């Protein structure tokens, strides 16, 4: 059991980016920006554990168990989570909505792994039925999140393709000018230098 729990927790420790810092409860717990003003501010294990608990009490519970069962592995896992929080802080500043979606996806994925692990570990049929139902609900939510993420990715790719088609069209329209400008650059013909910035 312990090795299976450890493998789930290690997988949890390497959540893509771990979280979105727009969460108000977390900000309030630490009085605003919990990691200081600089992007390189360190996150200690207690801050990381509190952050995880804010976003996933189930994951926090598993980490608390790990701390009790294997303090060394817990410390390594928390170091990994802290590094991801630090890295994510920078990503969240540029793409807060994407970050929140990624957080939800990763947390729900890892929570479903924990529930599945508990299902396999229990012998109690009633508990198995409850865990199966809980897992079904989680997987439904996870499916919706993944569907939403893929739709967003599709819209992004469609926009990129439109912009690329427009650029290609402009290049085709200005073919001769582009070729002449490049020829001047290669031949050192700088008679219009007075027009440069």
- Residue range 116-133, pLDDT digits in tens: 999 999 999 999 999 999
85 falls within a domain: yes
Tell me, yes or no, whether 140 lies in a domain: yes
Which token pair is 49? 């554990």
Decide: residue 149, CB within 10 A, 0-12 exposed, 13-18 middle, 19+ buried.
middle
Give mean pLDDT, residues 81-91. Answer: 77
**Please, are residues 65 and 5 in contact by the beta-carbon 8 Å criterion?**
yes
Q: Count of CB atoms within 10 A of residue 35's CB? A: 20
19, 103 contact by CB (below 8 A) = yes
Tokens standing for residue 167: 């650029």
* Domain tally, the chain: 1
- 104 found inside a domain: yes
- The pair of structure tokens assigned to 45 is 């294990």
Does residue 180 belong to any structural domain of this protein?
Answer: no
Q: For residue 84, what pLDDT is reported?
A: 73
Q: Is residue 189 part of a domain?
A: no
Give the pTM.
0.64
At 172, the pLDDT band (50, 70, 90 cuts) reads very high
Q: What is the pLDDT of residue 191?
A: 66
Q: Would 160 be classed as within a structural domain?
A: no
pLDDT digits (tens, 9 = 90+) for 44-85: 778 888 888 898 999 999 989 989 999 999 989 888 888 878
pLDDT of amino acid 41: 52
How wide is the angle at C-alpha 48 spanned by C-alphas 46 and 49, nearest 5°? Answer: 65
* Residue 170 domain-assigned (yes or no): no
User: Where in the sequence is the domain holding 8, given as residue range(s)?
Assistant: 2-155
The pLDDT score that the predictor gives to residue 52 is 87
What average pLDDT does the structure give for the chain? 79
Task: Tell me if 75 is assigned to some domain.
Answer: yes
Q: CA-CA distances (angstroms) from residue 48 to 51, 141, 158, 194?
A: 5, 25, 37, 58
């Amino acid at each position: 059991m312990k090795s299976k729990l450890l493998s789930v927790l290690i997988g949890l420790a390497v959540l893509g980016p771990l979280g979105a810092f727009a969460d108000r409860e977390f900000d309030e717990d630490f009085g605003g920006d919990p990691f200081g003003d600089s992007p390189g501010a360190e996150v200690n294990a207690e801050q990381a554990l509190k952050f995880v608990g804010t976003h996933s009490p189930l994951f926090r519970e598993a980490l608390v168990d790990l701390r009790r069962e294997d303090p060394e592995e817990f410390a390594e896992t928390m170091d990994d989570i802290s590094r991801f929080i630090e890295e994510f802080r920078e990503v969240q500043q540029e793409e807060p909505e994407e970050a929140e979606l990624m957080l939800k996806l990763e947390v729900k994925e890892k929570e479903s792994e924990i529930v599945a692990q508990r299902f396999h570990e229990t012998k109690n049929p009633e508990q198995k039925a409850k865990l199966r139902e809980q897992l079904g609900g989680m997987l439904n939510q996870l499916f919706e999140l993944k569907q939403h993420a893929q739709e967003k990715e599709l819209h992004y790719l469609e926009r990129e393709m439109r912009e690329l088609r427009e650029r290609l069209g402009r290049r085709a329209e200005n073919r001769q000018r582009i070729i002449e400008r490049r020829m001047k650059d290669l031949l050192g013909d700088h008679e219009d230098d007075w027009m440069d910035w």
